[in-house]
Chain A
Amino acid sequence: MYTGSMPLPPGEFAPPHDEMAESTAIVVGTDLVQVSEVSKAMERFGERYLRRLFTEAELSYCLESAEVAPSRLAARFAAKEAALKVLRLTDQSFSWRCIEVARNPGGWCYLVLHGPMRHLANEAGFVAFSLSMTHEGAYAQAVVVGQRRKTLADERIKPTLS
Chain B
Amino acid sequence: METISGIKQVLKEHGRLATDATALADDADLYQAGMTSHASVNVMLALEAQFDVEFPDSMLKRGVFSSIATIREALETLTHAA
Contacts and interface: CB of A to CB of B under 8 A. Distances in A.
Given A48-B45, A49-B45, A77 B38 contact: yes
Given A93-B58, A94-B61, A45 B42 contact: yes
Interface stretch (A11-19, A36-44, A61-69, A125-133): A36-44
A49 B63 CA distance: 20
A33 B38 contact: yes
B18 interface: no
11 contacts: A31-B37, A34-B38, A37-B16, A37-B36, A41-B38, A45-B46, A48-B45, A48-B48, A49-B41, A52-B41, A77-B38
B62 A91 contact: yes
Contacts, number: 50
Interface in A71-117: 77, 81, 84, 89-96
Contacts of B48: 48
Contact of A38 (B16, B38, B45, B57): B38
Nearest to A46: B45
A85 to B, nearest CB: 9
Interface residues of B, number: 17
**Size band of the interface chain A makes with B:** 20 to 34
B59 A44 contact: no
A29 to B, nearest CB: 12
Interface of B: 16, 36-39, 41-42, 45-46, 48, 57-63
Nearest to A38: B38
Interface of A: 31, 33-34, 37-38, 41, 44-45, 48-49, 52-53, 77, 81, 84, 89-96
A92 B57 CA distance: 10
B61 A91 contact: yes
Contacts of A84: 37
